[in-house]
Chains A and B, each alone.
Chain A
Amino acid sequence: MRLLIHDRSEEFSQTMKGKFDQVIYADGKYAPCQGCFHCWTKSPAACEMKDALQEICRVIGQADDLTIITENWYGGYSPAVKNLLDRSIGTSTPMSTYRGREMHHTLRYGKHHQWRVVVYGDTTDGEKKTWALTAKKNAINDGFQQSEVSFVTDLNELEANAL
């Protein structure tokens, strides 16, 4: 399954539908993660907060290829996208293991193919290096075998870069 997560607009979602199996617009209209771990222990793979992100980990868990379009915020994801990712830790289980020579949680949905990030907005060289590291770590954390980051300065190029 090819999944696109972006922080652009509803209109952008409409443009991208049909080009991906599922398109999610991170509109930021939801609560941030409270760090309760209930999506691991009390109600596995479901957040206790009953909003649009309650089952987001199950959606990401189905993705073979994940593409994220996000504005650059200090070399990291925009708050809306980061909020979505913070709420998706149910893609893993509470039990731990080694992956990439580091401690990580075991994967609920097994291995995936590619974690791609398309970054737009003013991005410094230092931030670009941070992006490469973050995407690599995200991919290891969530069991994706590859990671890739690209940077877009012209918003009209977003669609072409995402495909």
Chain B
Amino acid sequence: MKTVLIDCSPKKKLSASGFIAGFTSLFVMGEKKKEKLRTKADWSRVLDAVADADNVVFSMPLYVDGVPSHILPFLKEMELRRRENSPDMNVYVIANNGFIEGKQNEPLMQTMEHFCERSGIRWGGGLGIGGGVMMNVMRIMLLVYLALAVFRFVAAGILGSWQAGPWIVFGKQTAAILLLCCGIIAFDIWLACRINQRKEYGKHYTRIMLPSFVFILCADLFFIILSVIQGGIFRGWFSRKKPTRMTN
């Protein structure tokens, strides 16, 4: 059984879609291939990879309530190719969005379902993740916590007392992150199991396990920090800027 997992994010690095695709692949059995679909230059490589695949998993971000525009022409090309062959392929979708509600991925899921109908490909189902962007923040935090634990452990050792304290703190921090992601992890492993069985998963929606008002505060803080890193803050964040030139 061959499964191709496609990261459909346009980002070159630190893509949440790529991370989730990679995480899913840990639980998928048989031959696995991970692909990146950013530009048209990737098309022929990805189309070759999916040509003889039993399962294809599209992992993508939600853009303006739908499939990102750069993926649509690829889907059309895939539809044309699959019509020429006799497809025995299951398509699964993992969609993540920046809002807390996983359910906001519903129009994207339906679009991918229609793509399957028109292409004669079996729709395997999809997982919609709310707060998917936070997965990126959490994996970075996990690495920072690990580095701090190593530093504290070594520093204490050099001073003459090797202690388990830093590792206990790291264990608690890891547990907290796993708790916040427990819905995503559980639904994702379930999806991988259905892929392994080549059975329909249905549509399921999950989220980061935070109350929405706390998530909103976290998201606001994230953008403030991002803005500071990018060179300043509140440079007309809220101003109603008017066009300075004609569009078309």
Contacts and interface: CB of A to CB of B under 8 A. Distances in A.
Given A53-B247, A56-B247, A138-B65, A94 B11 contact: no
A97 B2 CA distance: 43
Contact of B226 (A37, A86, A102): A37
A34 B10 contact: yes
A52 B220 CA distance: 30
Interface residues of A, number: 64
Overall SS of chain A's interface: mixed
B13 to A, nearest CB: 11
B129 to A, nearest CB: 14
A41 B230 contact: yes
B72 A45 contact: no
A127 B114 contact: yes
Contact of A61 (B65, B240, B245): B240
B163 interface: no
B40 to A, nearest CB: 10
Interface string B77-114: 00000000000000000000001110010110011111
Given A44-B239, A108-B238, A134-B65, A75 B111 contact: yes
Nearest to A43: B235
Interface string A39-81: 0111111100000110110110110000000000111111110
Nearest to B103: A102
Interface string B206-248: 0000001001100110010011001100011111111111011
A80 B64 CA distance: 14
B75 interface: yes
Nearest to B241: A45
Nearest to A77: B66
Nearest to B109: A130
B116 to A, nearest CB: 9
A74 to B, nearest CB: 4
Contacts of A61: 240
A25 interface: yes
B226 A82 contact: no
A97 B182 CA distance: 25
B247 A52 contact: yes
B114 A138 contact: no
A109 interface: yes
Contacts of B220: 94-96
6 contacts: A52-B247, A56-B247, A76-B66, A95-B220, A126-B114, A134-B107
Interface of A: 13, 22-25, 32-38, 40-46, 52-53, 55-56, 58-59, 61-62, 73-80, 82-83, 85-86, 88-89, 93-98, 102-104, 106, 108-110, 124, 126-127, 129-130, 133-134, 137-138, 141
Given A44-B236, A102-B101, 19 more contacts: A32-B69, A33-B10, A33-B63, A41-B226, A42-B227, A73-B72, A74-B111, A74-B118, A75-B107, A76-B111, A82-B64, A94-B220, A95-B220, A95-B223, A96-B219, A110-B240, A124-B114, A134-B107, A141-B64
